[in-house]
Amino acid sequence: MRKIDFIGNSLSNVTVDPLPYVDDLLSCYQSLTDLPGFILLESTDQIRGRYDIVSAYPYDHFKVERDAADLSEVFHQLQHRLPLVTSSSDLPFQGGAIGYIAYDLGAQLAGINVPAHPGLASMPIIDMQFYDWAIVTDHHKKQVHLVAANNQPQTRGLLHDIRRRWYQHASTNRSFTLVKPFSPLLSRQAYQQAFHAIHHDLQRGRAYQVNYTQPFLAEYRGDCWEMYKRISRKNPVPFSAFMRAEQADILSFSPERFLQMDNKHLLTSPIKGSARRSENPQEDERLRAELAASTKNRAENVMIVDLLRNDLGKIAVAGSVQVKTLCELQSFKAVHHLVSDIEAQCLDSVSLLQAFASCFPGGSITGAPKLEAMHIISEHEPFARGVYCGSIGYFSLHGRFDSNIAIRTVIAKENTLFLAAGGGIVIDSTWEEEYAECYTKIQAIVHEL
């Protein structure tokens, strides 16, 4: 065990204890899933993502209900719970908050209120729990560390049990059954009507791009951790998550980073442009080449890149916003995507939560311009989005955070699975292609069940 010295507020006794790196990390993580407040942020592709972060036994809870009277100070209140310290370690999480911030928070702060689906109406719009320890897996170095901030008196008492569970490798499968498959809540005709209304708004110049989504429902019984394992192993993506919240299990299989801040360096990686995969190699390569050459999809991506450059420019050192990659083609299990990377250096005066709030929600799931696209979305989507299209991630006490765009995300509540999918509509979109794209995007989840 080695000690990491801190200079700053209250943490001065952080310890880092190595654990064995194993091929089947999910079996080790499974041994912790019955602990209160279990949460896993997993980079299952081990290429574009680097770290897994797993924890349990939160010592504090920051929760905001969707009917809260005043939301204007929520990011400030959350930041107040994260006193900044300085660390000599490069591990991403060293005590702090992990959880989700729902898309609906951004909508409500913009004055947009849409009723939630009745089954999700009781879900908070912020659910962040505070953890004093975590197991951090570095896939690039193939190392696992048990990190303890030792800021809470109960931490040392927990670590012995955590180590014991890690070594026992709980590999037994649990029961999970899909009782009724996913079915859309919007008819094909209703989707078509909404598309044409949005397209009319685009034609008259109200927006340039609108990300329209549709919801799906299924029924299940059993433990959703088993569902997570099935999909995670077959559909590796950089920004997966599994969270046992008070009211629901949250399973995210997101390929998309929303925003990262590391030593004041900001990175956002929007996805815009998608094409299905094919099991036939020649056909798959054709689909890949068509996406890479698609003027329409590249234009969609560039629109969102410009939006995010503007978002970052509000909090960045002048001249530091740079597009590092534009429309890079990345392939996942069921879909090809165009991905861009935009970087910037954050102003010293801007806190973690201020940086996050300035860009939230992500432009890739709103459209452009952001605020008007969000208003158009609210006029046509039948329910509030909730966690979907929000963000799941961590905020570490040493000034680092990372977060996903909560797409390909399932909420499991009272034996019902809530899922949604969508895409960006632009002036030359067709409703048939956009409708089909929704099903392409959920294929990697639905196929494994």
Per-residue pLDDT of the chain (449 residues; tens, 9 = 90+): 433 333 334 444 789 999 999 988 999 999 999 999 999 999 987 778 899 999 999 999 999 999 887 898 999 999 999 988 888 788 999 999 999 999 999 999 999 999 999 999 999 999 999 999 999 999 999 999 999 998 899 998 899 999 999 998 766 778 999 999 999 999 999 999 999 999 999 999 999 999 999 999 999 999 999 999 999 999 999 999 999 999 999 999 999 999 999 999 999 999 999 999 999 999 999 999 999 999 999 999 999 999 999 999 999 999 999 999 999 999 998 899 999 999 999 999 999 999 999 999 999 999 999 999 999 999 999 999 999 999 999 999 999 999 999 999 999 999 999 999 999 999 999 999 999 999 999 998 998 88
- Hey, what are 439's tokens? 């099903």
Torsion sign over Cα 278, 331, 388, 37: positive
Convert 32-53 to b/e letters by CB count within 10 Å (16 or more is b). bbebebbbbbbbbbbebbbbbb
- Hey, what are 393's tokens? 């991630």
Residue with tokens 């951004």: 106
Upstream peptide bond of 153 is cis (omega within 30 degrees of 0): no
pTM over 0.85: yes
By CB atoms closer than 10 A (0-12, 13-18, 19+), residue 353 is: buried
Three-class SS state of 426: coil
Task: Note the helical H segments in 314-359.
Answer: 352-359
d(CA 239, CA 142): 18
Q: How far separated are the first and last CA of the chain, in Å rounded? A: 42
Task: Give residue limits of the domains in the chain.
Answer: 2-168+178-446
Q: Which residues contact 387 (CB under 8 A, 6 or more apart)?
A: 100, 102, 103, 123, 250, 406, 409, 411
Fold that domain 2-168+178-446 belongs to in CATH:
Anthranilate synthase (3.60.120)
Task: Note the helical H segments in 31-187.
Answer: 74-80, 103-109, 155-168
d(CA 267, CA 321): 10
Please list the active-site residues: 256, 272
